[in-house]
């Protein structure tokens, strides 16, 4: 498990936890960013750019560090047809 910001360009991951203030966690859940969500890093850095479904989102470094992810392996993605 690691912060979202640590993903490399093109890397896929699954959200494990969203940390921070309850209102921040709620806002992220409203846009679909919650435990179990899969995403792909498009541009690491600050701000980082990632894709979640058909949406692209950008977060500042301090916000991206509050999202903990588990990188996904190629066999796991291939089994699901991603």
pTM of the model: 0.85
pLDDT greater than 90 at residue 1: yes
How many whole angstroms separate alpha carbon 82 and alpha carbon 74? 9
How many whole angstroms separate alpha carbon 69 and alpha carbon 36? 9
Answer whether 30's CB lies under 8 Å from 55's CB. no
What domains can be seen in the chain, in order of their start residue? 2-79 (2.30.30.90)
DSSP H or E stretch at residue 10 = none
pLDDT in tens, 25-45: 999 999 999 999 999 999 998
CA-wise closest residue to 82 among 40, 50, 41: 40
pLDDT greater than 90 at residue 58: yes
Answer whether 57's CB lies under 8 Å from 50's CB. yes
The residue assigned the tokens 């179990």 is 36
pLDDT in tens, 60-82: 999 999 999 999 986 555 556 55
């Amino acid at each position: 498990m690691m912060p979202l910001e640590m993903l490399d360009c093109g890397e896929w991951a699954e959200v494990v936890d969203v940390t921070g203030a309850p209102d921040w966690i709620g806002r992220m859940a409203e846009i679909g960013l919650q435990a179990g969500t899969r995403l792909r890093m498009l541009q690491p850095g600050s701000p980082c750019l990632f894709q979640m479904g058909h949406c692209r989102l950008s977060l500042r470094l301090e916000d991206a560090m509050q999202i903990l992810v588990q990188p996904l392996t190629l066999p796991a993605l291939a089994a699901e047809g991603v």
